[in-house]
Structures are given as C-alpha cells and as structure tokens.
Amino acid sequence: MMALNGHLLTVLVFFPAFGALALLFLRGEDELWIRRLAFVVSTVEFLFSLFLLRAVPIGQAGYSLEEFAHWITWPPINYHLGVDGISLFLVILTTFLTPICVLASWQGVHHRLKEFHVMLLLLEVGVVGVFLALDLFLFFLFWEIMLIPMVFLIGIWGHERRIYAAVKFVLYTMAGSILMLVGIIWLYNATGTFDLPIIQRLIHDGQLVLSERTEMILFLAFFVAFAIKVPLFPLHTWLPDAHVEAPTAGSVILAGVLLKMGTYGMIRFCLPLFPDASRRAAPYVAVLAIIGIIYGALVALVQPNLKKLVAYSSVSHLGFVVLGIFAFHNISMQGAVFQMLAHGISTGALFLLVGMLYDRRHTFEISDYGGLSTPMPKLAAFFLFVVLSSLGLPMLNGFVGEYLILLGTYQAHWNWAAWAATGVILSACYLLWSYQRVFFGEVTHEKNRALADASAREKWILATMAVVTLWMGIGSPFFTRRFAEPCKAVLEQMNRNVMQEVAVPGAPPIASKGAAGNSTERLASR
Amino acid sequence: MISLNQQMLQSLRLVLPELIWCGTGVILMLIQPFLKNRQALTFLALVGAALGTLATFYGYFGTAFFGQIQFDTFSLFFHWLVGLISFLVILASDSYLERENLESAEFCALILFATTGMGVLASAQELLTAFIGLEMSSISSYVLAGYRRDSIKASESAVKYFLLGSFATAFFLYGIALLYGVTGSTNLAKLADADPSNNLLRLGLTLILVGLGFKVAAAPFQVWTPDVYEGAPTPVTALFSAGPKAATFALLLRIFSTIHAATQFWFWAFWILAALTMFVGNLGALVQSNVKRMLAYSSIAHAGYTLVAFAAVTSVRQDPEAVAPAYAAVLFYLASYALVSVGAFTVVSELGGRGERHLTFDDLAGLGTRQPFAAAGLSLFLLSLLGLPITAGFFGKFYIFKAAIHSDLLWLAILMAVNSVIGAYYYLRLIVVMYMREYKGTLPTDTPQGLSPTAAMVVAVAALITLYLGLAPNHVLGIVLSQNLISSAR
C-alpha cells in the first residue's frame, strides 16, 4: 500500500491497461487462463477502488487524492486527476461491474476471447479516466478513447445487426464530442487553462464573464455531447440498437456505466461552468427529460423484445436523473446521483439476467418464453427481485433514487414532479407485465420445459448484485452522506458572485478581466 | 571581405541535402546497367536519402546564392520531413517493385529527384527558384505516376497528371510574371514591401494560389487527385500524398507569410477554399468502394483541414500572438498527416497483391484475423486520420481547431468538426470491415499472405511516430513553435 501513496488514482486508471497488456502474452487457446487473469485483474482493480472510500472525507466537498503533473507544455495540458463524493461511487460502480462482466461472459463468449477481455479492460481504463480527470483536455481524451473498445465489443461480439449498431453508436457519440472539443478549446482561449478547478473558480468569482449568447453556445456544445450519451429524448435512437446488439457484458457496461458519463458530465461541467445558461435551459431540458421518462416507458410497454424493453427502461430511468439534476435542488441532485448508481446496479442485473436467458434459448422475444418459473425457479426469483428494485420498491435501491428525485423536484417545480411520477407507475406496468409474460403461466414452448436453472456461477453473480441492491436500499445513508456535500457544492457553485470585483488572492493571473472580456467580444462580433 | 568563391562554397552548404539527393539519383542511373542487384540499389538509394537528410546539420541559418535560398527553422523542418518520407517510401517500394517486376534503380532515382525538388521548394526564397523546385518534383512525379507501364490505369494517371499539372504550372508561372511586373523582383524579401492592395499583385497571387492549389489538391482544383492517386503505383501514391503536398504547402505558407497578405481578401479566399476542400474530400470519400480511392479523397479532405489553419494565419483579426501557433498548427498537421499517410498507403500497397487487384472494401473483410499486424497498423493510421486521441492526427486537428478558434473562425471550426464526423464514418467503415466482417467466399490464391519485412519496418516506424506524436507532441512542437520560424516573416 505504501507504494500506492499519492498515486492511487493513476494506478486505478492504468492498472487495467497493464492487465490488458499481460493478457496479450497469453496464448489464445488458454481460454481458462485468459478468463482467470482478466477476473483477477478486474477484481484487484475493484479492491484498489475501495481504498477511495477511506480517502474521500465525509461531509466535505472538494477533490481528494489529487494528482498533478505537466504533460504538454503548449498549450498547457496537465495530467490532473482527483476524486470527490460524486465520482467516487461511479468509479467503484465501474470497477465492480467489470469483474461481474468477466464472470458473465464465462460461458457465452468463446470467439476471440483474448481480444474480448483486452477490450473490456481497456474500456475500464477509459471510463475510470473519464470519472477521475480534472483537466478538460484529459477528460476529452478518455472520453474519446473509451469509444474504440466499446465499438469493438458491440461490433465483434454482438448479435445480428451489430455492425450497424456499432457504427451508429460511434457516430452519434463522436458528433457530440467533437463539438465539445470546440467548446473546450474555446474555454481554453478565454482562460488560458484546461484545468477544471481553476476554470470553475474563475467563473464562480466572476473573473470570467461570458455574454449570454456565448454562454449558451458553450453550454450547448457540452450539453449535447452529454445528452447524446445519457441519452436524452430526441437523441436516444442509438441506444436501443447498441444495447440490443451488444453482448451481455457490453450491455451491462453500457447501461451501467457509460450512460452515467453523460449525467456525470452535466453535473461536473454544464452546471458549474455555465450556471446561467443551465438555468435558462432548465425548463426545456426538463420537458425533454419528462418526455423521455414517459416515452421510454410507453415504448418499453409495447416491446416484444425483452432486451429492447430493458434498453427503453434505461431511457426512462435516465430521464429521472436528468430531471433531478436540472431541478437545481439539493435533494433532487442527491437523488440523481443515487439513481445513477442504482440504475447501474439494477439495469446491469437486468441485462445479466436477459443475457442468461439468451444463453439458454438464443432469443430475446418475449413470446418465445412464458412460464419459465417452472423450469427455473431460482432464476425467476432473482429476476423478480431485480425487477422490483428497478421499479422502485421501498427497501431496494431504485426507490431511494426516484424518491429523492421526486421529492426535490416537487419542492422546486411541483408540476415537473407530477408528470415524472407517471413514469414510476408506467415502469411498474411494463416491468411486471413483461415479468408475468416471461415467467408465469403455462410453459407454452416445449423447448422451455427443459431449461437449466441458474448455475453456481450465475447464482454467485446474481447474489452479489442482489446483496448490493438490498444494501443500497437499506443503507442508503452510507452513500448519500458521501456525496451530499459535493452535490450542495455544485449548486452553490451556480450562484456566482458577479458583484465581486476584487481579485481573489491566489487566483491565477492568466485570465485577467481583459482576456475574458476580449473573448466574449470576439465571439459576439462574429 | 569574403571572396565570391568562398561565398559560393558557403552557399553550397545550404543546398548540400539537395546535392546529395540529386547526386545519389544520378549515380543510381549510372550504375544501373552494371549492377543488377535490386537490394544493393535500394540500399544505395536509402543511404542517399538518409545522408541528404543528415546533411541539414552541416548547414547554417541564413541565405545563400544571393538571397535565392533561405535556410531557417522552417526549411530545416521540411527538409527532415521530405527526407524521412522519401526514405520510408523507398523502403516500402522495395517489395512492391519486386512483386510488380519493375526496375528499381530508375524508380529510386526519380523519388530522389522529386525529393530534391521538394527540398528546393521548402527553402526557396525566390519565386523562380521555387518554380524550378516545383518542376523538379512535378516532372519526376509524372513519370512515377506512369511507372507501371503495362497498366492502363497507370498510364491514364500519368497523362492526366501531366496535362493538368503542366496547366497548373503555367498558372503559377504567369502569377510570378505578374508579380515581377508589379514589383520588378521575384525575390520574396523584396515582394514583402509591395502594396498589398495593388490589384495586379492580387491577381498574380491569385494565379499562384491556383497553381499551388492544384498541387495540393485543394477544391475546386482537386479533380485529378482520385484518378491519379488510384492509378499510380501505391508507394508513389504514398509519396504524392505526403511529400509534394507538404513541400507545396510549405511554399504557399512562405509566400503568404512573407508578402503582407493578411487582408480580408486572402482570408476569405482561404476560408472558402478550406470549406470547399473539406466537404468535397469527405463527401467523395464517403461513397468509395476502393480503399486506395477512399484514401485519395481523404487526402483531399486533409488538405482542407490544413487550409483551415491557413485561413487562421491570414485571418484579419489575428494578433501577433496567434500567428506562431497557427504556423505551428500547419507544420504539425502536415508532418502528422504525411507520416500517417505513408504508413496507410504502404499497408494498402502490400495488401493489393500483384497488379493491385484486391483493394475493394470486400477484399479486406476479415483482415483482422488473417493479417493481424497489417490490420492493426492500418487501423492505427485510420484512427489517426480520424483524429482520435493518443495519435498524431488528434493533436494535428486539435492545434488547427485551436488556431482557428483563436483567430475567431468559429464557423470554420464548426464546419471542420462536422467534416471530422463525416470522415469518422468512412474510416470506421474500413476498420469495421477488417475486424467485424468475414471474407465472403474463398480467398483468391494470389492474395498476399503478410507484409514483407521492409514494408513491415515502414509500418512500424510510421506507427511509432504516430503514437509518439500523439503522446508527446512537445518535442516537435518545440521546433515548429520557435520564434523566428520563417526568418523573413514579421
């Protein structure tokens, strides 16, 4: 542990990469060893990430374990990592789901196994990097790098229409992110730095004043990139394709973690950097989020395809998260962060279960199932548990997030909460109805009669997920008290001290009033 | 007082790289009848290319031949670049020539002659000298384009290139004549003082822009590019897309940074040229089914990205601070693109098989399993062209974005962003084909089995440089950001 001192975050980011490198030295035929090594690497990574819990102080905002190194001198790009209460659990969620994914692919994946695990570990590098980067440039770098392993995961190990889905996924994401790059460079030109905390301070202290129009353009440049990732209502069309075509492990990571990169980006970048634009955009964003909640639920309701149903339920659930963020209420913000984690676990578990059904029957059509609780009672029990957590049964994790979001949103805008609440009802409808059609009733297909129940491996996976689900539902303060302060800090950040004319001592001299004024003027004159 | 002789000797030091390149070419031609060993000839050419590049260390910063040659950081940079490119191309062409059963001595000699021309282009301080450089590189290129004599496509390529190329050269020459008419000089240092609002000067510069725009394949002067690139032997295509392009951009940059042309007029000229070139290149590449042709169109698109940086250079609202980064963006981009392009075309040249018959997207299906090394190399180059982080292409694009935004070219930056996404589609399509599709039917027997050792070396070198520039662009940037990059520039 001593060797890790001060470099825990770097280790967290790059350890899986070394694991991937080690995998390359194994022979492709040694399937078992490849799986074992990948599992060990990702589990060790998970254990490393648990050290974060000790390092992040409770009831305190601000970044811990910061690491700083100069990387490129011109323009000044720094290797700046840090963790706070919000990113803390997202990192742990990532490192938790990766070994689960390795386990979940134990039976299902045989084709080019080594590459599969290399991609999985590289994906982990990118995602953990995104959550820990405190330099805008570094953030963008990880954000883009993570695309490639994901595309390969969908495109090589996916189902029939995998290539279409992979290309659609990457084009959507890239279209958003390249505009974000333009926005990042614009911010750099105005401030002379890529460092997130510094830019935040400049904006908070009123040293960098953006004109209304500029702020809105920059806000949109970031927001659209994140909204595509979330995905927010009109930009969601890549998601069903990507989810359905991806292999189980891909879907779990995609739903569990990758979507959260969008909402995380909104909390970390959109709100603190462009507070006024966020406020002005909030009603529109909320409307889109509510449309997403209801639309996603309605489409899920009529889905004949089980995996697509889960995918659309993600659209609906992530709508809640966006709503919670843009209600600008302390409680709803905490709810949003909690819901991000809860959705990661419960939807991840749903995808695992759907994947297990697929391993047995090679179909996602609900009509091909029916009465499965007779041949596989244990799997059915786990499935029910996960469904209940996903629809927000009290004591389970989904309830806490949705409740907090609705509570906070109600206090800020009661009508938003009223609309969103219909989503809760609808989610109960589509989840329970689909559960009924898959597991209850008579066994309609002869093939289904002889299906094997959950194997020991599957039981371990599902039990782990179930325990976490239950713990998050009962022991939610363990989580909320760690990210309550950072959430509050984000909202405080939004009330900037425009009046404050006196330079803050210790503020860097790079962005004087003049430079900031200049840049606004420049854009306005175009 | 230095005597004239000494002065000439001093001057020779500055053209030593060109002398070595050209001399090696001549020697190759002379010993070809006596030496039949292909490897020995290639080795000699490689030694010549390397020695010529190293000879830049013997030079000094200054002018030579009474101000006709200017040797500064800028020319040094381009000498290294074209030297490296010709070295890699000669190395890559070895197996190609063997496969196609072509003479190697003439081929290498022509590449060295072309390199000489590019070297002259990079350091010409006088327009007629530049013209000689341009002609040297162009005429060698015409011959190289048609080097595969028995191929109809190659002959078409050569004739097309020659006819259109000489037409463009005429434009360039006419432009020089007009400039001479206005100022009484063809020396850039003297032209620098000319009144930029003079219409005749403007016309002359426009003609020069047209001539050079043809050479760099900027739309609307790009029509020849796909056919010529497709028909020429692939190593030659690699050279075309990298060497002459970089050298011509170098000349263009030198002319437009020396002559005080930073006016609204040039700004819009480059703006429109850049936007048009990007769209033509990317939209053209989108519908190609032949990999070589796709890369040809993509090369047009990349010329467009480079022109965005030119627009930033000539942007009227620039402040002196913004100029150096904009130059740096051009140079960095040219270097990164050139190396990536050489790498990509080398892989393509190897994959084509005898007669370059297997170059459609379908032919490359399943390459990821058949030839992991070639597929991985090509993917890396494609990702760099696409502009993904930790590759050279990303920083290239990043610096252009940065220069453009710094010069308030927000709209051009957005157009470039849109184009990057279009580009992403066709680059990814190739990667998808290589890794995610299986080959339909049985493989033809003449499909190449793997990269030849020399080509593999080129791919490895290009790949390493691509990653190096993507991870630590500092060193190269340090060179291109030096204060007096172009000595006579303001």
Whether residue A26 is predicted with pLDDT greater than 60 in this model: the reply is: yes
Contact (CB<8Å) A185/B408: no
Query: What is the rounded average pLDDT for all residues in chain B?
Result: 87
Q: What is the model's pLDDT at position B341? A: 94
Name the residue among A381, A361, A253 with its Cα closest to residue A306.
Answer: A361
Sign of the CA dihedral running A317, A323, A324, A326: positive
A502: CB partners within 8 A, 6+ apart = none
Q: What is the mean pLDDT of residues B403-415?
A: 87
Whether residue A520 is predicted with pLDDT greater than 60 in this model: the reply is: no
Whether residue B377 is predicted with pLDDT greater than 90 in this model: the reply is: yes
Task: Give contacts of A170 with chain B, Cβ < 8 Å.
Answer: 424, 428
Contact (CB<8Å) A523/B408: yes
For chains A and B, what is the number of CB pairs under 8 angstroms? 84
Q: Which of B425, B428, B481 sits opposite A74 (nearest CB)?
A: B481
Residue A24 in contact with partner chain B when CB distance is under 8 A? no
CA torsion A377→A382→A386→A391, rounded to 10°?
A: 30
Q: What is the model's pLDDT at position A207? A: 82
Helix B320-351 with B372-386: angle, nearest 10 deg: 150
Enter the DSSP assignment of B442.
P
Q: What is the model's pLDDT at position B484? A: 62
What residues does each domain of chain B span? Answer: 4-480
Query: What is the Cα gyration radius of chain A?
Result: 23
Query: For A135, phi and psi rounded to 5 degrees?
Result: -115, 130
Q: What is the model's pLDDT at position B415? A: 92
pLDDT by residue (tens digit) across B426-472?
A: 998 898 888 888 887 777 777 777 788 899 999 999 999 999 998 88
Cα–Cα–Cα angle for B75, B167, B248, nearest 5°? 15
User: Do A122 and A20 meet the contact criterion of CB atoms below 8 Å apart?
Assistant: yes
Task: Give contacts of B411 with chain A, Cβ < 8 Å.
Answer: 526
Query: Which tokens belong to A450?
Result: 């002889």
Query: For A82, phi and psi rounded to 5 degrees?
Result: -170, 160
Whether residue A147 is predicted with pLDDT greater than 50 in this model: the reply is: yes
Per-residue pLDDT band at B143 (split at 50, 70, 90): very high
Q: What is the mean pLDDT of residues A491-503?
A: 60
Whether residue B490 is predicted with pLDDT greater than 70 in this model: the reply is: no
Query: Which tokens belong to A523?
Result: 């854009």
| Alpha carbon distance A275, A202 (integer Å) | 13
Sign of the CA dihedral running A467, A468, A471, A472: negative
Q: What is the model's pLDDT at position B67? A: 81
| Alpha carbon distance A442, B280 (integer Å) | 61
| Alpha carbon distance A379, A464 (integer Å) | 14
| Alpha carbon distance B162, B177 (integer Å) | 22
Task: Give contacts of B432 with chain A, Cβ < 8 Å.
Answer: 155, 163, 166-167
Per-residue pLDDT band at A500 (split at 50, 70, 90): very low
A169: CB partners within 8 A, 6+ apart = A150, A151, A154, A238, A241, A242
Q: What is the model's pLDDT at position A505? A: 44
Q: What is the mean pLDDT of residues B12-32?
A: 91
Per-residue pLDDT band at A513 (split at 50, 70, 90): very low
Q: Which residue has the higher pLDDT, B487 or B343?
A: B343
Helices (DSSP H) in A192-329: which residue ranges? 196-204, 212-229, 238-245, 248-253, 259-265, 271-273, 275-301, 306-326
CA torsion B109→B113→B118→B122, rounded to 10°?
A: 120
Q: What is the model's pLDDT at position B461? A: 94
User: Do B335 and B476 meet the contact criterion of CB atoms below 8 Å apart?
Assistant: yes
Contact (CB<8Å) B421/A74: no
CA-based nearest residue in chain B for residue A188 = B402
The CA–CA distances, whole Å, from B31 to A416, B28, B40, B91, B102 equal: 85, 5, 11, 19, 17
Q: What is the model's pLDDT at position A498? A: 46
Q: What is the mean pLDDT of residues B359-373?
A: 86
What are the DSSP calls for A106-171, one per residue? HHH--TTHHHHHHHHHHHHHHHHHHHHB-BHHHHHHHHHHTHHHHHHHHHHHS-TTHHHHHHHHHH
Helix A476-494 with A275-301: angle, nearest 10 deg: 140
Sign of the CA dihedral running B138, B144, B149, B150: negative
Whether residue A214 is predicted with pLDDT greater than 50 in this model: the reply is: yes
Whether residue A506 is predicted with pLDDT greater than 70 in this model: the reply is: no
Q: What is the model's pLDDT at position B483? A: 59
Q: Is residue A64 within a helix (H) or strand (E), and if so which, with residue range?
A: strand A64-72
User: Do B96 and B233 meet the contact criterion of CB atoms below 8 Å apart?
Assistant: yes
Residue A414 in contact with partner chain B when CB distance is under 8 A? no
Query: What is the Cα gyration radius of chain B?
Result: 21
Quick check: helix, strand or coil at residue B490?
coil
Q: What is the mean pLDDT of residues B250-271?
A: 80
Task: Give contacts of A166 with chain B, Cβ < 8 Å.
Answer: 432, 436
CA-based nearest residue in chain A for residue B473 = A72
What are the DSSP calls for B445-456, one per residue? TTS--S--HHHH
Share of chain B above pLDDT 70, in %: 96
Contact (CB<8Å) B436/A155: yes
pLDDT by residue (tens digit) across A91-110?
A: 999 999 999 999 988 887 88
Task: Give contacts of A180 with chain B, Cβ < 8 Å.
Answer: none
Q: What is the model's pLDDT at position A510? A: 41
Task: Give contacts of B481 with chain A, Cβ < 8 Å.
Answer: 74
A390: CB partners within 8 A, 6+ apart = A313, A317, A346, A347, A350, A398, A427, A431
| Alpha carbon distance B452, B456 (integer Å) | 6
Q: In this structure, are strands A77-83 and B62-64 parallel, antiparallel, or unpaired?
A: unpaired
Share of chain A above pLDDT 90, in %: 37
Q: What is the model's pLDDT at position B379? A: 92
Q: What is the mean pLDDT of residues B366-371?
A: 85
Quick check: helix, strand or coil at residue A512?
coil
pLDDT by residue (tens digit) across B106-123?
A: 999 999 999 999 999 998
Quick check: helix, strand or coil at residue B269?
helix
Q: For residue B355, how far is the Cα from the chain centroid?
A: 25
Per-residue pLDDT band at A523 (split at 50, 70, 90): very low
Across A147-168, b (16+ Cβ under 10 Å) vs e yields bbbbbbbbbbbbeeebbbbbbb
Taking the CA of residue B172 as centre, how many other CA atoms within 13 Å lie in the half-sphere pointing to its CB?
26
Q: What is the model's pLDDT at position A518? A: 40
Whether residue B488 is predicted with pLDDT greater than 80 in this model: the reply is: no
Cα–Cα–Cα angle for B353, B359, B364, nearest 5°? 95
Per-residue pLDDT band at A3 (split at 50, 70, 90): low
Helix A476-494 with A85-108: angle, nearest 10 deg: 130
pLDDT by residue (tens digit) across A150-196?
A: 988 998 888 888 888 988 898 888 888 888 998 999 899 888 889 99
User: Which residue bears the tokens 């089995």?
Assistant: B449
pLDDT by residue (tens digit) across B158-203?
A: 999 999 999 899 999 999 999 899 888 888 888 877 777 788 888 8
Q: What is the mean pLDDT of residues B16-35?
A: 91
Cα end-to-end span (Å), chain A: 55
Sign of the CA dihedral running B444, B449, B454, B458: positive
| Alpha carbon distance A95, A129 (integer Å) | 12
Residue A515 in contact with partner chain B when CB distance is under 8 A? no
Per-residue pLDDT band at B317 (split at 50, 70, 90): low
Q: What is the mean pLDDT of residues A213-230?
A: 91
Query: For B359, phi and psi rounded to 5 degrees?
Result: -120, 15
Whether residue B419 is predicted with pLDDT greater than 50 in this model: the reply is: yes
